[in-house]
Structure formats: structure tokens, C-alpha cells
Amino acid sequence: MKTGIKISGKATVLYLQRDESLTHARFGFIVSKAVGGAIRRNLVKRRLRSVAREIVSLEPAGYNAVIRALPEVADVDWNRLQQEVLSNVKAAFNK
């Protein structure tokens, strides 16, 4: 997370690092207790994993990505979360 690109949104922060030695993309998710209880955190993680599957189908392999959920993510609906993460990834790849 110290090296690479950082893109912030209202509900998430994306850290992206290119790694040409990888043959596939790797994703990590950070969802703290500030987001809510265990049920809420697991819902957020399931949504983020679903968005990550879409990203893998769109973008080439060879990068590490970490998506950190901010406390505001608990109030965001599915479509807005998906749109925010996808736009953050596109912005990161254009840098």
C-alpha cells in the first residue's frame, strides 16, 4: 500500500500496484469494525468480491489491488458502490 497508486472515493479507497511478474490479479479487502457489525462487514466484503470479479474480466492481469471500505460504505447501495469502485480502477489504470 506504500507504493503504487491510491485513488479515494466517498465510500472506498483503492490501492493499486502493477506487478508484471504476476500471471493473474490479486485482490485484498479491508473492512474495519467502523463499517458496522459482522453481518454488515460480510455484506460489504461480498459486494466488493463481486465487483473484483468484474474488474478481473475487464482489466489485464499483473497487478495487486487493495480496496479499503470507509465507514460510509454501510449506507451505499449496490449500484453506487459498483460504479465507484469501477471508476476508481479505470482512473488508476489511466495514471
> What kind of fold does domain 5-94 have according to CATH?
Ribosomal Protein S5; domain 2 (3.30.230)
58 contacts: CB under 8 Å, gap ≥ 6:
86, 89
- Please tell me the predicted confidence (pLDDT) of residue 2: 78
All residues at 6 or more sequence positions from 23 whose CB lies less than 8 Å from its CB, including other chains? 61, 62
Angle, CA 79 vertex, CA 6 and CA 61 arms, to 5°: 45
Place of cell 465510500: 11
User: pLDDT of 17-73, one tens digit each?
Assistant: 988 888 888 899 999 999 999 999 999 999 999 999 988 887 667 889 999 999 999
What pLDDT is stored for residue 73 in this prediction? Answer: 95
